[in-house]
């Protein structure tokens, strides 16, 4: 346990340092850009008084590093914002206030997170089932006609954009066959059945794209394992091919699959922009598109930092799971 505890501590410290680096880069990129940040943030129709108020709230007269430390202080300890007539407290982690809605960015994200989380977790289950299952079958049937057909299908799926598959599924399943309703988000707490029924099409659209990557990765990792000496030894002792594939070859693909799934899931939690926009789901990705269109910098910065947080968190958890699956990782 001492070795694993040290490994977990190193990964945790590395995740914290990475998050700090992401926050610095994002803040500098958006707030050190050329142009009048106060005018851009407030919008073209703002009066000079409104622009001045935004400049005061953003502390644009302070050096950039002071403003970043002020932003970091809000994330760690919260911050008080003046709304003109009163003072509003933004509890930690405070990512600022939206200048379009005067809503706290953290609250805005929390309101959209259940939609994006539902989309990400449901799609993950489907792409793991489809991708890993297809990869195992392709490795098992290597060199045969069905393996070539599966390889061609995964290549086609990998090359097709998600909005193309999403549009085709909507036209075919919702329009012509009328097997599913056009997606409309229903909270899980209100009606679990309608929640799943309305998200099935977005889940399929994402899963069919992502499953292609998992199928190819599983197939290549398993074929590499099947070519090793210990597998030939198992065959020589009469171990069945099904047992070799299921118990030994698939184990060699676990590590790469965990790492890939962590990246994909973390990115989706940060916002599935195309999928949410295509299906009209009110999630983080759709809100990010709106914030970019209206140049709502606090919301953009907050959501980009959030995306980085989810990716780093998912990878840290993946490293710990990989260490549990393969104890040699702890010593590396």
Q: What is the pLDDT of residues 286-301, one digit of tens each?
A: 898 888 888 788 888 8
Strand-pairing partners, residue 154, are none
* Residue 330: per-residue pLDDT: 55
Statement: residue 114 has pLDDT above 90: yes
How much of the chain exceeds pLDDT 70, in percent?
91
Instruction: For residue 129, give both structure tokens.
Output: 């089932």
Distances (CA, A) of 21 to 27, 134, 313: 10, 38, 14
Classify residue 42 as exposed, middle or buried by CB count within 10 Å of its CB (0-12, 13-18, 19+).
buried
Max mean pLDDT among 68-77, 222-231, 242-251 falls in 68-77
Q: Does position 58 have pLDDT exceeding 80, yes or no? A: no
The angle formed by the CA atoms of residues 300, 305 and 308, to the nearest 5 degrees, is 130
pLDDT at 329 > cutoff 60: no
Task: Give the Cα separation of 306 and 111 in Å (integer).
Answer: 14
């Amino acid at each position: 346990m001492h070795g694993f505890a040290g490994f977990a501590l190193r990964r945790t410290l590395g995740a914290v340092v990475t998050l700090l680096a992401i926050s610095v880069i994002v803040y500098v990129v958006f707030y050190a850009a050329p142009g009048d940040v106060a005018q851009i943030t407030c919008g073209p129709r703002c009066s000079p008084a409104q622009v001045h108020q935004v400049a005061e709230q953003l502390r644009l007269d302070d050096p950039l590093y002071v403003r970043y430390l002020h932003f970091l202080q809000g994330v760690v300890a919260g911050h008080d914002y003046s709304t003109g007539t009163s003072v509003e407290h933004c509890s930690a982690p405070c990512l600022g206030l939206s200048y379009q809605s005067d809503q706290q960015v953290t609250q805005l994200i929390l309101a959209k997170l259940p939609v994006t989380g539902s989309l990400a977790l449901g799609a993950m289950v489907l792409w793991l089932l489809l991708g890993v299952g297809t990869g195992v079958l392709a490795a098992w049937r290597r060199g045969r006609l069905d393996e070539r057909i599966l390889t061609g299908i995964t290549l086609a799926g990998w090359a097709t954009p998600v909005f193309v598959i999403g549009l085709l599924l909507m036209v075919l399943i919702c329009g012509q066959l009328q097997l599913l309703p056009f997606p409309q988000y229903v909270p899980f707490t209100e009606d679990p059945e309608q929640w799943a029924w309305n998200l099935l099409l977005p889940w399929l659209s994402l899963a069919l794209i992502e499953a292609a990557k998992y199928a190819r990765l599983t197939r290549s990792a398993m074929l590499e394992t099947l070519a090793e000496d210990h597998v030939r030894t198992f065959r020589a002792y009469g171990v069945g091919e099904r047992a070799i594939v299921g118990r030994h070859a698939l184990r060699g693909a676990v590590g790469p699959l965990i790492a890939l799934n962590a990246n994909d899931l973390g990115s989706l939690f940060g916002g599935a922009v195309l999928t949410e926009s295509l299906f009209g789901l009110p999630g983080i990705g759709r809100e990010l598109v709106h914030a970019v269109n209206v140049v709502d910098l606090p919301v953009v910065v907050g959501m980009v930092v959030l995306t980085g947080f989810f990716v780093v968190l998912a990878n840290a958890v993946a490293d710990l799971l990989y260490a549990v699956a393969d104890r040699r990782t702890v010593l590396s």
